[in-house]
Structure 1
Amino acid sequence: MTQYDEIKQGEKGAWVSIAAYLALSALKLGAGYWFVSGALVADGFNNLTDIVASVAVLIGLRISQKPPDKDHPYGHFRAETIAALVASFIMATVGIQVLITAVKSIFDGEPATPNLFSAWVALFAAVCMGAVYVYNSRLARKINNQALQAAAKDNLSDALVSIGAAVGIIGAQFGMPWLDPAAAIAVGLVICKTAWDIFSSSTHALTDGFDEKELKTLRSTIAKTKGVLMIKDIKARIHGSNVLVDVIIQVDPALTIIESHQICDDIERRLGRKHNIMSVHVHVEPLEEETQTPQSAPH
């Protein structure tokens, strides 16, 4: 299966999420307004933002499947990241609106006690989203798609939010009607927190940021490759669900071009096998005499 085939497989998960969010948001909003549950209404709006986020992921996956061209020699994989960034702004807007509405309901007078049936609606939604999470998480691991894995984590957070809404509704049945709008505030905070997490990871990737610990792991793998005497420089950046690595290694100056090229091939195979990195650019230099003490592990 090629990389583009894997991205195509990821569309299934996005469609499953969209279908689930469409059905559950309609159910929650209808039941929330009918049974006077602010927490369930907030949860319904949360799912509406998730529809937008899932559509953004789907669009990003579609664009990412376009092959490289003259203007995009590395392909269009960053479309996933841009789509996620747009979704984060939409989610933040809705999250803030949910918080404002919930706070107003507390200060506008004694909150109405929601019908207990709305709690069963929330628990049913939690079970459904839990099933969607399991499906998307397994598919994301199978095809190694970071965008779909992020969507799966969002599915899990939605299941937990629905459980929280149910707790607030049930608590309101025991003489604590304020617990329902309090749960709505908690839902709004979760929406904003999720939006911030997506925004942070997206901007970090778009500005070519890369995790230092992961870079150290890649350096270790390269250093253990037979023939590598020293790593002069290594850089990495995220391109959609892919990682691009540029590394400068120093080898024995007595090696032939063919032998040096074999070391490069070994590095590419090791990074692909151990870290699923398929785009590696290796530059080879002879080890200078004044740096004859190797920094890499002995072979």
Structure 2
Amino acid sequence: MTDSIPYPIGTAGQPWGASERDQWRARQTRQRRYDQDVVPRIDALAARYDKVTYGQLDYAGEAYDLLALRNRHFDPTLPTALITGGVHGYETSGVMGALAFLEREAAAYAERINLLVAPCVSPWAYERIHRWNYDAIDPNRNFRIDGPAREAVALMELVQSTGGSFLVHVDLHETTDSDESEFRPALAARDGKAYEPGEIPDGFYIVDDSENPQPAFSQAVIAAVERVTHIAPADAQGEIIGSPVVAPGVIEYSLAKLGLCASITGARYTTTTEVYPDSPRTTPSECVDAQVAAVCAALDYALEHG
């Protein structure tokens, strides 16, 4: 899609109102099931971890429990890590990567670090394979305690209730071809702005915090993932999705200023992973493996360097 092809909802140059949001909602259809894909795996993990219901969404009569898992014996003397997936519901390997980490690798960190894992922050969007929630809001630009995204507020309240300080937070995401074919054009239409086409990077990359950069930590994550899948190169301008590449596979955002999920703990070590599942050079299982590798590398580095 280019800026010469209008988005099918709204009037060019005019932000959406209630009518346009209703039209957008009418286009969204359930394509998979949170209660079948995600909840049973969380329930199975509840044999080893405490299952926490930290909120409930009710969108037009469709109810979703917001679920997290945490160490059964949360030790206040240990550092704490937050792992989040599915902030954007359509980013599948984020959800599946968080679950796979718990199933396959988390036991190795017992008695070393407290784990709090929210595998699917946005279940309504997970089912619609969408970036936004029911209110046509991107949760990952609205992690503010008084913000409009109910998913974001609930997760922030969970973090605040946990107590203690967080050492590391890994937020698992994807960058997909649909970012350019659907989501960015929809964003421009919703906000009454012109759509400016961008370039989708082919490969894995991460986002560090420009207000608290941790270059050695970031490179440890990239080095681990590079053994699993390919790393996105910079484009001709030396950028990835419009941001300068500060190291191979690494860009920086001001996480808190942008209201991004990775800002909510105030952890020393934070990263947002970005897998590219549409690449012909990867597979769905490899994308999940890359997310797991990123989580393990982040925890290993944080535990070693404090």
TM-score, normalised by the number of residues in structure 1: 0.26
- Which structure would you say has the larger Rg? 1
Q: Which has the higher contact order (CA 8 A, sep 6+)?
A: 2
Higher helix content, 1 or 2: 1
